[in-house]
Amino acid sequence: MVKEGPDPSPKESEILIEVKASGINFADILARTGRYPEAPPLPMVPGYEVSGLVCKVGEKVSQEWIGKRVFAPTFFGGYSSKICVPQEQVFLLPKSFSFSQGAAISVNYLTAYAIALKLAHLKKGDTALIFSAGGGVGLALYDFCKMVGATPVGVASEAKHPKLRDHGFKFLVDPKSTGFENQLRKISEGRGFDVIFDSHGGSSWSMGLGLLSPLGRLIAFGAFNYFDELKSGKPWRSDIDQGKWYPVDIFDLTQENNLVGGFNLATLWKRSFHPLQVWLNEILNLIEAGHLNPTLDREFNFEQAGLAHHYLENRQNFGKAVLVFP
């Protein structure tokens, strides 16, 4: 539902952005369906990231910002033609980037940066298994693998394999194919993976623990499998609370010399934006150096938000889908 209202007015340390593009994320879908604990209560406005033009600033913000091309993470509210954002969350758009590319920076690259460089300590020579390789985060993780000299192995549906090969992946496996786990063992030549980036959850986490090399790291950053379970009508956290999603035994980790970690952008953000601010500045440096380049999949007009959610929910995207405003 589209609702008209007066333009928001920036508080003293805020910037008012005329939105040109808004990133579409899986978190938006979970929030819309009431399955995202960090989301505001319904009715709410989705949207985790925007790009656009600064049209007004608060009293404590320099007037020099007005007219600047910017992007900003927004923690919901991004599906709006205008939005007020704290100054600390607003960044200058790289000169060569379109507004749609700007709306593809914050969520995907913050997530990939955090899990690849801060949690997994991805390094040259590592072999990294990337679930949902054709999604925005998956392709951002590919960029980081390429940057540090790691070998990416992609998990994605067979339909996405041609595009992923064109993108640069040499090793690909369909998670629904026969002998999925054995295929992965063959690719790792029985040694296991140094890093596993898993957005699926549940049974894939259990499988992943058995696919780690000595000193291997399993990083969880999503639970797509659980979202699929919820479609059947199960209440939120029903299986999680029953312990069916806890495959980790700490004693086993000590015996196998493995590490398990997890990342949730929203919960970190709620505690403090400061680390995200630092990381985004580093990400901008890496973009300027040519290491990172968002993959845009499709632009949807603002009125097509429902269609865009359906598109993402059915895993049709390759890279980032965005909403564009007139």
DSSP 62-91: -GGGTT-EEEEE-SS--SSSEEEEEGGG-E
Question: Is the residue at 305 inside a domain?
Answer: yes
What is the number of other CB atoms lying within 10 angstroms of the CB of residue 185?
Answer: 16
pLDDT at residue 206 is higher than 60: yes
Q: Of 220, 251, 266, which one is at a domain's C-terminal end?
A: 266
pLDDT at residue 237 is higher than 90: no
Tokens of 244: 């069916």
Distance CA 200, CA 221 (A): 8
Distance CA 62, CA 15 (A): 10
Q: Which long-range contacts (CB under 8 A, 24 or more apart) does 297-300 make?
A: 297/321, 298/322, 299/21, 299/100, 299/323, 299/324, 300/24, 300/324
Average pLDDT for residues 206-230, to the nearest whole number?
85
**Nearest Cα to 227, choosing from 243, 218, 239, 219?**
239
Report if pTM > 0.75.
yes
134 and 55 fall within a common domain? no
Q: Of 266, 286, 309, which one is at a domain's C-terminal end?
A: 266
Distance CA 112, CA 110 (A): 6
213 and 316 fall within a common domain? no
Residue 88 is predicted with a pLDDT of: 97
Q: What rounded mean pLDDT belongs to the chain?
A: 92
Instruction: Name the one residue in this structure whose structure tokens are 């150096």.
Output: 289
Between 240 and 125, name the one with better pLDDT: 125
Write the pLDDT tens digit of every residue in 292-310: 999 999 999 999 999 999 9
Give the domain range for residue 18: 14-105+294-324
Tokens of 216: 């291997």
CATH of the domain at 126: 3.40.50.720
Residue 29 is predicted with a pLDDT of: 87
**Nearest Cα to 296, choosing from 316, 312, 273, 320?**
320
φ/ψ of residue 44, rounded to 5: -140, 165
Distance CA 194, CA 190 (A): 12
Distance CA 26, CA 70 (A): 23
- Number of domains the chain contains: 2
pLDDT band at 224 (very low <50, low <70, confident <90, very high): confident
Question: Is the residue at 284 inside a domain?
Answer: no
CATH of the domain at 79: 3.90.180.10
Residue 235 is predicted with a pLDDT of: 57
141 and 197 fall within a common domain? yes
